[in-house]
Amino acid sequence: MISFISKILVALNSNSRPGELASGIAFGFCLALIPKGNLLWIIIFSIAFLLKHNLAAMLLSLLLFPPLASLMDPLLHNTGQLILTMPAFQSFFTTLYNLPVLPWLKFNNTIVMGAFLWNLILWLPLFFLFRQLVVVYRKKVAPRLAESKLVKSLKKVPWVSKILSAYNKLSFLR
Amino acid sequence: MAKKNKKVPKVFRKKIKPKKWKKKILKNIHIPSDKKWIEERFELMDDRMVIKQDLPKEDLKKLKALGKSIKKNKGTVTKWKALILLAIAVLAFLFNYLFKNVLIKKGIETGIESIFEAAGFIENPDLSLSKGSFTFDSLSIQNKDKPDRNLITFGNTAIRINMPELSRNRYHIEEITLQGMQLNSSRTSGDLIDSRGEGSEDSGTPLIDIPDMEEGKEQVLALIEEHKSNLKSLQYIDTANQELEAFTQRWTQTFETTRTGVEDSIKEIKDLGSRGVPSVSSLEDARGVVDEYRGYSDSLLDQKKELESLNAQFNEEKERLLSMKEEVENLIQDDIDYLGTLLQLPGREDVQNFISDKVKEILMTRFQDYYDKAMLVMPYYEKWNASRSGAEENEGGAKRLAGSYIPFPTAEQPRFLIKKIDLSGGDNYSGFFNALVSGITSEPDKLEEPVLLTSAWDNGEARMSLDGFLDLKEDASQLFDISFSSPANPADFGDTLSALGIESAGARLSYTGKSIPHPDEEGVLVSLDMDFADLQITLPDKDDITTRLLRETVAEIKEFMVNAEVHIDSNGIQGLRVQSDADKIIKEKLGDLLKDLPSQGAAELEKYIRELVASELKGSEKINEALDQLGLESLSQIRSIEDLEAQVKAYEDEARSRGEDLLKEAEDRARAEAEKLKAEAEAARKEAEAKAAAEAAKAKAEAEAAAAAAQKAAEEKAKEEASKIKLPGF
């Protein structure tokens, strides 16, 4: 957890794209929302793994969001139920269900379907939200933080500077 | 300058147009301060953006870091992650060819060990994902309670799954072939499957397993054994045997001593005989010899009297001891009476439903056995179920809702289906079976046909076939219906009916049965119709009243039917009802017979007690023999003394005879002397008569006086001689 946080802090203050961090967090949220043990989760995880974004941000959000997902379960269930039982989609879902491999997605599960839909809905807003947050941080917070007395005095503390330099030297091992 | 420029990262060295410079460089710098810093380091020259010359070392360092981050930010896919996925794919491919089956073997064996808590062995497992098949040559699972036996073994086995259906999330097993299935086979080292096909523990159990019901004999023997210590006859025999043994020892010693005396006497008389009767020259000698012999004779007479007295005493005591046998007889009778009160023999009421009750016992045993065997599997099932639910609980670590699955219509195919199971196995002794099960599914409503079961079993003597279905549809009118039949089985009752005095009985048993759900309660109802035909009964070779009654009874039973109904549920056998048309015959005819059973029981009791007593008396019989021997010995000793007496008497007679001869000789001599003296006297008389013719009167008188005096003297002498040899009887 500390490692993830430090990596995220490094990414925040380095020249990485703001979108990398934002998509990492958005994908982590996505994976936390979808129940595990189905092909859909594996596919999203594989995509998220392959795409260039901040892995630490994704894994941290994957760890932090499940309690939120549990709270959202009734909402996910109701949404999934609503969609899956909509007469208009019955033939579509039936076709999907009878196609090879697709049943492994477990899309006929109300929670999976609900989570998938909410992911579709929330992914972009989350992405843009976190992206904007990173930009704002870099533009306004980071310079002020760097100039703050607290950070300056901390940097002067010998053991803090030593730890920071050691961390920087050993970061290649991670 | 050029040399210094070389230290600037390549991305900043190029001279590019401002628009492209903004797109390629400035857009890829996301820290505002860095962006400003880089703008300050570039200048416009000939419509190109060029990095400034002579930048300080710190600037070059920062440019290097920025160059790296610009390069890193390019693209959407990370190469090293793609390489990891590729490596995983390659490893999966290699695993499939190199380690898959080894790991499957290890995994299955470990799984078996963890589930069954016993060794498992699988030979040549082969999983083919492309064909959707799994095969192995053999599989055995050890019985944890009997390590030298297998719980179950399979020979060649193949499972084929429909892969296209699997991709539709439907598990359709096209065929499961399980060959060489054996239950409870023996485990051999190296080869864990008993290829000899022998050794089922039930191998000695015939199809119709009628338990040993020789209750009469068993009951009597058990009763005697239980109360053996209370039987007075045996205790008395024990005491008597001890007394007899002491008596025998004592008398053996006594007769041993007398035997020595007799032998001494024999030796003495033998010596006497070898010396012969001594020659006697006078009547005095003869008298001495006869007296000597009489001494021997008296001694022998005393010895004989002593022996006779001992013999009489011995016989008297022996008779007293032998009279104990009579006491034993009385005690045996007492013991029989005592045990008779304890012996519980079946009365008339016990044979009200004799055949039904016996069949009930058999069926109860058999169905209980089936139930117990089924229950053996239950712990494993419950364990699996518990671990499964536990795993499900663990899966939901974040305590999420499971949601619900909305069923969409599919092409009327169930999600789980086993189209066919072909099962075969068995062994030489208990027979071989083939079973075919088709249509096992999790969604029976999607299948027109219910689960079909057919099986055939053959052990060379008996055959059984089974047909049935298992309809698990929600609206099924009948959940299952399994019927089975087995024609013409040899049913050997052995000595099962010995309680009725029947030596052996056999029949040809045909049975049909049906198993259906209980119409009113939970569980299964099994109905069974058993036809016992061609009944052959062997009765004992006797002509007593019991056997005659029995013969009359069984003559009427050539064939009989037994109908049974068993209700069994998850808690075991809940009900068992058996009826037989033989009951009526048995009840009427055999009931009379059983009136006499108490007396039969008493006779049986007496027989076994007598056998027991006879074995106990064996010791006393030996003692009896010893006693008889002692009696004979005593008589023999007496006879020996009598022989000696006779012998001594012969010697005495001979001595007496010799004395008589001497006496006779002396008499003859005296008589001759008298005759001579008489003649001399006659001559003297005649001479005197001649000489003294004249002196007739005087001389005659003198002569007559002299003759008379001489005769008197001779007679007195002879008398004196004779009186000297005075023998008894003379």
Yes or no, beta carbons of A73 and B401 under 8 Å apart: yes
What are B361's two structure tokens? 């016992």
Summarize pLDDT for B417-459 with one digit per residue, the tens: 999 999 999 887 778 999 999 988 888 888 888 889 999 998 8
**Interchain pair B167, A109: CB under 8 A:** no
Task: Check residue B208 and give its pLDDT.
Answer: 38
Containing A114, the helix (H) or strand (E) segment is: helix A110-136
Is residue A156, in this structure, part of any structural domain at all?
A: no
**Residues with Cβ within 8 Å of residue B51, at least 6 apart in sequence:** B5, B8, B12, B13, B41, B42, B63
Q: Is the pLDDT of residue B217 over 60?
A: no
Q: What is the pLDDT of residue B500?
A: 63
**Token output for B494:** 């052995």
**B159, B178 in Cβ contact below 8 A?**
no
Give CA separation, B151 vs B181, B195, B314, B431, in Å: 11, 15, 74, 18
**Rounded-to-integer distance, Cα B152 and Cα B139, Å:** 8
Would you state the structure tokens that stand for residue B48, as one six-digit string? 């190109």
Give me the pLDDT at residue B206, please. Answer: 39
pLDDT digit string, tens, across residues B696-711: 777 677 778 888 888 8
Residue B205: pLDDT above 50? Answer: no
Residue numbers in B near A143 (CB within 8 A)? 32-33
Query: Encoding tokens for residue B456?
Result: 């055939």
Which residue bears the tokens 């996505």? Answer: A30
The CA-CA-CA angle for residues B522, B528, B533, to 5°, reads 170
Could you tell me if B164 lies within 8 Å of chain A, comparing CB atoms?
Answer: yes
Closest CA relative to residue B612, chosen from B356, B231, B265, B132: B231
Question: Inter-axis angle of helices B283-342 and B232-275, to 10 degrees?
Answer: 170
Q: Taking all residues of chain A, what is their mean pLDDT, rounded to a whole number? A: 85
What pLDDT was estimated at residue B407?
83
Q: What is the pLDDT of residue B728?
A: 53
Residue among B120, B127, B139 at smallest CA distance from B180: B139
- In B35-74, the residues whose Cβ lies within 8 Å of chain A are 65-66, 69-70, 72-73
Interface contact B85-A112, CB threshold 8 A: no
Instruction: Label residue B177 by pLDDT band (50, 70, 90).
Output: very high
Burial of A117 (0-12, 13-18, 19+ CB in 10 A): middle
Query: Which of A16-30, B353-367, B675-689 ranks highest by mean pLDDT?
Result: A16-30
Residue B263 has pLDDT above 90, yes or no: no
Alpha carbon B242 to its chain's center: 37
With beta carbons under 8 A apart, name residues in chain A contacting B34: 15
The token pair at A35 is 């129940």
- Could you give the ipTM of this predicted complex? 0.79
Name the more confident of B595 and B331: B331
Whether A165 maps to a domain, the answer reads no
**Which of A107-116, B526-535, B545-554: highest mean pLDDT?**
A107-116
Confidence grade of residue B210 (pLDDT, cut at 50, 70, 90): very low
Q: Partners of B480 in the beta sheet?
A: B470
Distance CA A3, CA A55 (A): 12
Quick check: A147 pLDDT over 50? Answer: yes
* Domain carrying residue A47: 2-141
Residue A31's pLDDT band, with cuts at 50, 70 and 90, is very high
Distance CA B637, CA B332 (A): 39
**pLDDT at position B346:** 53
Lowest average pLDDT, out of B109-113, B527-531, B548-552, goes to: B548-552
Q: B404 vs A51: CB contact, 8 Å cut-off?
A: no
Cβ distance B76 to A52 less than 8 Å, yes or no, reads yes
**Residue ranges per structural domain of chain B:** 2-75, 86-204, 226-345+613-659, 664-724
Grade residue A155 by pLDDT with cuts at 50, 70 and 90.
Answer: confident
Beta bridge partners of B561: B531
Residue of B nearest to A89 (CA): B408
Nearest CB neighbour to A16, from listed B69, B76, B167: B69
**H-type helices in B99-214, by residue range?**
100-116, 163-167
pLDDT at B194 over 50: no
Cross-chain residue pair B69–A15, CB shorter than 8 Å: yes
CB-based contact B440:A125 (threshold 8 Å)? no
Report percent pLDDT > 70 for chain B. Answer: 84
Q: What's the pLDDT score for residue B211?
A: 35
What is the nearest CA distance from A139 to chain B, expressed in angstroms?
A: 6
Q: How far apart are CA B480 and CA B437, in angstroms?
A: 14
Identify the closest residue of chain B to A84 by CA–CA distance. Answer: B406
Pick among A59, A64, A98, A139 to test the B interface (most B CBs inside 10 A): A98
- Check if A80 contacts B (Cβ < 8 Å): yes
B231/B544: higher pLDDT: B231
- Does residue A136 lie in a domain region? yes
Q: How crowded is the C-beta side of B220, counted as CA atoms within 13 Å?
A: 25
Contact B404 A109 (CB under 8 A): yes
Mean pLDDT, range B462-490, rounded to an integer: 87
pLDDT tens string B573-617: 888 888 887 777 767 766 666 666 667 677 777 777 777 777 776
Q: Which residues in chain A are contacts of B407 at CB distance < 8 A? A: 108
**Considering the domain boundaries, does residue A61 fall inside one?**
yes
- Chain A CB within 8 Å of residue B83 CB: no
Give the count of domains, chain A.
1
Picking from A14, A33, A52 by the largest number of B CB atoms within 10 A of its own CB, the best residue to mutate is A52
Residue B722 has pLDDT above 80, yes or no: no
Mean pLDDT along residues B348-364: 71
Q: Which residues neighbour B307 within 8 Å (Cβ) at sequence distance 6 or greater?
A: B258, B262, B634, B637, B638, B641
pLDDT recorded at residue B198? 42
> For residue B592, what pLDDT is reported?
62
In this complex, is the C-beta atom of A39 within 8 Å of any C-beta atom belonging to chain B?
A: no
All residues of chain A having their beta carbon less than 8 Å from the beta carbon of residue B400 are 35, 66, 69-70, 73, 111
Residue B486 near residue B456, CB atoms below 8 Å: no
Average confidence (pLDDT) over B116-124 = 89
What number is the average pLDDT over the span A56-70?
Answer: 89
What's the pLDDT tens digit per position in B480-500?
899 999 988 888 776 666 666
Tell me which of A146-155, B465-474, B670-679 is least confident: A146-155
Angle among Cα B374, B358, B531 to the nearest 5 degrees reads 85
Report whether pLDDT(B214) > 90.
Answer: no
